[in-house]
Chains A and B, each alone.
Chain A
Amino acid sequence: MIEQFRDTIRAATSAGRPLRIRGGGTKDFYGVSLHGDILDTRGHRGIVDYEPSELVMTVRSGTPLAEVESALAEGGQMLAFEPPRLGAGSTIGGVVASGFSGPRRAATGSARDYVLGVRVLDSAGRDLSFGGQVMKNVAGYDLSRFVAGSFGTLALVTEVSLKVLPKPEVETTLAFAMDESAAIEALNRWAGQPLPLSAAFHVDGKLAVRLSGAGAAVSAAKTRMGGEVMADDAAFWTAVRDQTHPFFAEPATLWRLSIRSTAPVLGLGLQAIEWNGSLRWVAATLPAERVHAAAQAAGGHATLYRGGDRSAGIQKLAPGVLALHQRLKQALDPAGVFGPGRMHPAF
């Protein structure tokens, strides 16, 4: 497969035709624009190495996420960042390329936090390895974490080593009736205490907080925090994680704001809150400038996640940072074959 990918990349580079690296295509909705001939990764699949006591899995990029998760489940482990499964065909390569993380992110870290190493083909078709299969590795620049979240615009990831974690012993969910402002305050207060919080979701006056860990710790926290125990909470968190919760079903335009967790209610429209307040979803058609300004005022950034007019870009980068992105894109993909314009109109 690697040889085949290499030929495809070299042909594209010499013809000056862009390539669109694609797994299951479950994130086709995301990005500024989709250009180029599809390079389908799904033929390159399989788990290369998995030893639960190492807490590491090495896997080919075209492997379905479902296959990865079921192998991990057999070892009593999981991808701790809970990548959203936005469709049945989702591949592990797409998970890494998008860098999307799910509900557990505020407690345990993001997709890129769990990337230990990658093998990639660059735009010259060179087979390169960065990072490795070990937890600690500071040899060379951290290009393995750098390619996470780059949406196939820098190189073709062919193999990835991910840190994995044991599944928690017990999970339970507490539900509270609270408005947005009270929820933001409560979540931040709890997050500053040694409580086993592992997820939070607030919408429509209702706050759900998941606790994960040792049985004793979860029940002690439950007593301390109050609230009502939610029945069937696993299905609820699956819906939040996979964005099938009714909040995500309706809106034509969805903004995602990553901001200071304590930022007060934004007042931009229908809102859902995750990650202890630091992720706010806004389902409303709004002037882009207004959303970017609100996010910036709250110490973060906004992304036009789905729908809307994306032609001018889905995120805003400061001029110096944008110029650096252009130089890095040029450095790693001088031929400009990988997904031009997917992340930003300027690179």
Chain B
Amino acid sequence: MGKPEAISAIPAVDSHALISRLRAVLPSPSLLALPEETKPYECDGLSAFREVPLAVALPEDEAQVAAVLKVCHEMRVPVVARGAGTGLSGGALPNPLGVTLGLSKMKRILHIDPLARTARVQPGVRNLAISEAAAPLGLYYAPDPSSQIACSIGGNIAENSGGVHCLKYGLTVHNILKLRVVTIDGEILELGGEGLDAAGYDLMALMTGSEGLLGVVTEITVKLLPKPQLARVVLAAFDSLEKAGNAVANIIGAGIIPAGLEMMDKLATRAVEQFVHAGYPLDAEAILLCESDGTPEEVAAEIERMEAVMRASGATQIRLSKDEAERLRFWSGRKAAFPAVGRLMPDYYCMDGTIPKRKLAEVLKGIAQLSEEFGLGCPNVFHAGDGNLHPLIMFDANVPGQAEHAAKFGSRILKLCIEAGGTITGEHGVGVEKIGEMCDQFTPDALETFHSVKAAFDTHGLLNPGKAVPTLHRCAEYGQMHVARGKEAFPDLPRF
């Protein structure tokens, strides 16, 4: 876990002048500047980091967004865009010298086109609200991050959010068609289009997952898919992590792309079972949840194949959801894994590395060793189908030093992921949390390229400064202790 980068490059602004200029462009309930008003915005889902912004702007429409950005651009004030504040990497952590731009008032579903299967929405619309609105038409929006009842589509764009079903249906970047974006100088751009691709460079790919560093999204056109008629889930238990890992490889090797393929280890299974009573086998070293969806014919045929592969891979127990209620019960445990772990210890720290699936057993062994070394428990849940791990490091922040200890443990896990050929973040973003580990994953040249891209959008570096991409200066400080990909990081840079 890193610390937010020093924001020394941007000088402090006369906050009275800033607020009076913002007042001129926003209706009064849309500008919060009193400490008791701005305090609720001090953190996002990563509450270990807190900062209070100079002001919070809550525009009601795109014109107000553009006006706020123009003021901030002219006065050289940092801007941190914020959706629902559910992010787990501190991407929406306020800048103490800046404005937090909350998009929560822009929450209208503007249009649903049932025949073209698209929805045009504002950024503050909740992810699940899109699927709810499309449900009467037999359609839904596929990406389903676990926070989908609360998280906003604008935030999903910023983080390129995934979810349990993204192995089969893709990430946010695969499910959006068009964006309206306001740049830092207040210009409005339309990117993408209502067709499947757009002219010129793929700016949609660049914007998606850019963590609020390139522009502010004010309108999104998403793709809607026909709702599968049926879904059923196979629950399989294994007496070793290796066997469960092999079962995952065998399913995919057999040419099956499950709608969801999730794994939980013994610690996680036990934590969850006490909490939700999903009926999980408690003696298993690992359980797999493997979902099939589609027409009844498709599901029947696929389930049969899934069960055969599980059996051949050494499953000690296989259960098939017999109805929708049981399917939801099987999933309830997986979905409640975080709060269930939260019941066992006062605090937990959720990691988000992704690795090639064949390295699963090796990396899990490494995590278990680290768990012993650090003396902190670490149940594991993961999106096994796409190798995205969520180790949950348990600690007690009231014990002095334990939060820092947990952060160090987390950093070591991320290093294991990089060494295994993976990445430090599969779906939660870098934010402030993993800014240090970015120096391990990328070379200074690659980071410099990111900074050039950023400058093409935002010359003065005002949009969400200090997040997502570390400065080389920061990496030099961080790099004293780390060795990136077998080479010493930044040998040419002076050490501070």
Contact = CB atoms under 8 A, between A and B. Distances in A.
**A and B associate in one complex:** yes
Interface of A: 51-56, 76-77, 99, 101, 105-106, 109-110, 112-113, 122, 126-130, 132-143, 145-146, 148-150, 154, 165-167, 169, 188-189, 191-196, 213-217, 219-221, 257-262, 275, 278-279, 298-301, 303, 315-318, 320-322, 324-325, 327-328, 330-332, 343-344
A135 B253 contact: no
A317 B200 contact: yes
Interface stretch (B1-9, B205-213, B403-411): B205-213
B257 A194 contact: no
B423 A142 contact: no
A321 B189 contact: yes
Contacts of A215: 301
Interface in B162-187: 162, 166-167, 170-171, 173-174, 183, 187
A317 B199 contact: yes
Interface string B179-222: 00001000111110111111111110110111000100000000
A273 to B, nearest CB: 12
B196 A139 contact: no
A105 B195 CA distance: 12
B162 A136 contact: yes
A216 B427 contact: no
Contact of B116 (A130, A136, A169, A262): A262
A54 B139 contact: no
B194 A259 contact: yes
B386 A135 contact: yes
Contacts, number: 274
A135 B249 contact: no
Interface stretch (B22-30, B48-56, B319-327, B453-461): B453-461
Contacts of A196: 294, 298
A220 B295 CA distance: 9
B229 A194 contact: yes
B355 A146 contact: no
Give the top 4 A-B pairs by smallest Cβ distance, nearest first: A299-B194, A258-B195, A216-B297, A300-B195
B356 A258 contact: no
A328 B116 contact: no
Contacts of A188: 115-117
Nearest to B434: A139
B441 interface: yes
A105 B170 CA distance: 14
Given A53-B252, A188-B116, A138 B430 contact: yes
Interface string B16-50: 00000000000000000000000000000000000
Contacts of B253: 52-53
A189 B117 CA distance: 10
Interface string B402-425: 000000000000000000011111
A129 B444 CA distance: 11
Contact of B456 (A167, A324, A343): A324
Interface core residue of A143, A169, A194, A325 (most chain B CB under 10 Å)? A194
Nearest to A129: B446
Contacts of A320: 183, 187-189
B317 interface: no
A303 B441 CA distance: 38
Nearest to B160: A138
Nearest to B209: A138
Given A53-B253, A128-B443, A217-B294, A143 B117 contact: no
A296 to B, nearest CB: 9
B173 to A, nearest CB: 7
A315 B193 CA distance: 13
A259 B203 CA distance: 17
Given A139-B425, A321-B189, 7 more contacts: A55-B252, A140-B442, A194-B294, A214-B297, A262-B115, A320-B188, A331-B455
Given A55-B252, A106-B196, A321-B190, A139 B441 contact: yes
B250 interface: yes
Given A134-B355, A194-B227, A213-B298, A145 B456 contact: no
Given A113-B174, A220-B295, A137 B194 contact: no
A299 B453 CA distance: 28
Nearest to A316: B199
